[in-house]
Amino acid sequence: MSGKRLALLASVPAIIAMVALLAVSALAAVSVGDKAPNFTLDSINGSATSLSSVTDKPTLLVFWASWCPHCQRELPMLQDIYKDLHSKGMNAMGVSVDDNIGSAKSFIQSSSITFPNVYAGNDKGMGVVQDYSVRGVPTIFILGKGGVVKAKYEGEVDGSTIRQQFAKLGVK
């Protein structure tokens, strides 16, 4: 058997394993209509915070990073929406995937973000990122009361789209 043929045959099990892994992750992806998996992570300030602590109302859940230019534009816009709609029945939670918590804290402070943020840049947090099948940032989930996923956006999204989603949930 030639060396090329042997190398090709040797790579087949790895290719099959990779395809199986991708298929399993696609099946596990959180989709519209699913109940969002609960998690507990340390807040940016260090206290344990659960998603379930905010899902008593329609909730914006955003995965972000301070180094992401789209997130740098989007988080202040989301803060404005939160400021306008929180008293009308909206909650929000940010999930930072920064490599270090200091970068996340600095960005939140400099951008005057007031909605709760947790840190997912460690092993425990990366499990949450995987549970939600986050492939890039920003990724936004709009959750109805009780944590059911009503919408999901990957990449930058405009504020009017977010506001329309909350209006559909009775938050205007």
Write out the residue range of the structural domain in which residue 42 sits: 31-168
Co-location of 17 and 48 in the same domain: no
Co-location of 24 and 109 in the same domain: no
CB burial of 37-61 (b: ≥16 within 10 Å; e: otherwise) equals eebebbebeeeebebeebbebbbbb
Give yes or no for a contact between 168 and 59, defined as CB atoms under 8 angstroms apart.
no
What digits encode the pLDDT tens for the residues 152-163? 999 999 999 999
Cα within 13 Å of Cα(28), Cβ side:
15
Co-location of 38 and 25 in the same domain: no
Co-location of 45 and 14 in the same domain: no
Mean pLDDT of 80-101: 98
Mean pLDDT of 114-119: 98
Q: Tally the domains of the chain.
A: 2
Co-location of 154 and 79 in the same domain: yes
Co-location of 1 and 74 in the same domain: no
Locus of tokens 């929180």 = 86
Coil, strand or helix at 125:
helix
Co-location of 77 and 2 in the same domain: no
Predicted pLDDT of residue 97: 98
Co-location of 138 and 76 in the same domain: yes
Co-location of 11 and 72 in the same domain: no
pLDDT grade, residue 5 (50/70/90)?
Answer: low
Co-location of 25 and 44 in the same domain: no
What digits encode the pLDDT tens for the residues 118-133? 999 999 999 999 999 9
What digits encode the pLDDT tens for the residues 39-70? 999 999 999 999 999 999 999 999 999 999 99
Mean pLDDT of 13-37: 61
What's the CATH number where 107 sits? 3.40.30.10
Instruction: Kindly tell me if the per-residue pLDDT of 107 is higher than 80.
Output: yes
Co-location of 2 and 82 in the same domain: no
Average pLDDT of every residue of the chain: 89
Q: How far is CA 124 from the centre of its chain?
A: 14
Co-location of 86 and 74 in the same domain: yes
Predicted pLDDT of residue 62: 99
